[in-house]
Structure 1
Amino acid sequence: MSEAFEEAFEEHRNLLFAVAYRMLGTAADAEDAVQDAWLRWFAADRSGVVEPKAYLVRITTNVALDRLRSARARRETYVGPWLPEPMLTSPDVAEDAEMSESVSMAMLIVLETLSPLERAVFVLKEVFGYPYAEIAKALDRAETSVRQLGTRARKHVEARRPRFEAGGAERREATSRFFDAVVGGDINRLMEVLAPDVALWTDGGGKVRAALRIIHGADKVGRWLSAITGRPYAGIEPADMRIRRVHLNGEPALVVDGPDGPISTVTVDIDDDGRIQAVHLVANPDKLNSIATGRRLPM
């Protein structure tokens, strides 16, 4: 392989990972997709490639599509609620509302409800701004069909995405109050910041203790969170745990560390009244590798 073509791949590696992560929802799958794209790039006849970036995005999108179809079958037998793999992001990402929303846990959960093709079109069009003609070429489909997929996906996402009327400062304050209440184990303060219809997602993947169903309602969620505070978890005593505040997927978040690395992450969604409407707790150790290594999500 010529040095120029190798450099072309490396130049666009972060973009390819960013596309694959939004398509697949986990860093491990996204990295595998990028590696597969590298192998295809290595083996391809590149003599007619005029725009390496477009060609590489096309390869990566189709690899991710294949992986997403098989991943959806595996997720049907997943133990408990399935959540995307959290990834560290820089604090300044939160200031870019559109970019931070595109990788938020809430958005990635909504994208899980799309068909693989709808998800591919939505990610390429709405997140990365590719024109329909280019997406159609990448997916080897008629442009009219791709436009229909895009319209259907956009309507689906608009109907289900959280709508944040509260400003950034208000949302940060609400998140901070919630985290203070959780860390302090104060159920009264906790109940003050939870929306009545709050939902708690706990992803343990059958490997650590977690609720096997989504928990609904402020009373049940508040009691569940209070019950796990100050108690051993995953065989680790509270005295050996450390809680740090970070930014995950463009949002303020908590990471709970044990002696050997992270044991869980917590992110939240805020409603229009500045209260917590969803809590996402990821404790499946397979989904904490990026947190453990400090890898940041390229935007």
Structure 2
Amino acid sequence: MHANGFAISAKEKKSRRLLLLKRSVPLYLLILPSLILLIVFTYIPMYGVTIAFKDYKTGLGIFGSEWVGFKNFTTFFNSYQFWPILRNTLVISIYSIVVMFPLPILVALICSQITSSRYKKFFQVTTYLPHFISTVVMCGMIMLFLSPSSGIIAKLLSFVGIDMPNLMGSASAFPHIYVWTEAWQHIGWDSILYIAALSSIDPTLYEAATIDGANKWHKIFHIDIPSLLPTIMIMLILRMGSVMSVGFEKVYLLQNSLNNATSEIIATYVYKMGLLKSQYSLSAAIGLFNNVINLILLLVFNFISAKISEDSLF
């Protein structure tokens, strides 16, 4: 009886799985195009990373080129440009996180406190709009505004007798220009996720807090912020997983010979080595090094977050 009962139970489980599979076929078909695109454009090209370990020659191809092991990595590590571009990348990236990570949370909290729907819509639209300005147009605006001869800011300062310095030619000013223009452009858009998290809070919590005599500040610190913490931790983990990745387009467009000392980052260096100087193996090695560091940081901060707050990606 026991064996027969076990056989019947196994048959039932198998039939249930088949039934569930049949019911889920439309869902599988729905995600199939995305899965194919992911495999074709993300996983299949991964074989190209092997050129980081080869002396790649375009005529020989990837598999025909000579295997050189970690030679390209040691070349990069021993280069006199290794430490400067690593420092520049970390400075801009960490500076961006310090400025741009808390500001969207602050914008979301401010937006949640606006009771008038008209003013709330105006606030949201004005903070979201800069996000849709293209990088090329944004860089053009920055250079026009900060021009020491014909820029808007220079014209305004000239009325009070102040001569505007050439900020775009100042190496020390470049990280500040990059980070604060990024903040102006993207904090509104980045706040959407936090606004959505705030909108999902149970209204009865606010009602109970009001009955207990809580004011707006009490509600923010004891209801809003604790409710945002899981979202904040997940976003922080993802942000720390891209510490070594600074936006290439904007840095490259704002870069010039005068600010190159602080604007040369890993992304622009890879572009110059790979496409301009045709050192494909070296640029691939640098890119692989960059991605490995990002992966390690992602795993480390995910582990720390799981231990401290029990919020993690997996």
Do both proteins adopt the same fold according to a TM-score greater than 0.5, normalized to the shorter chain?
no
With normalisation by structure 2, the TM-score equals 0.24
Q: Which has the higher strand share?
A: 1
More helix by share: 2
Specify the structure having the higher radius of gyration (Cα).
Answer: 2
TM-score by length of 1: 0.25
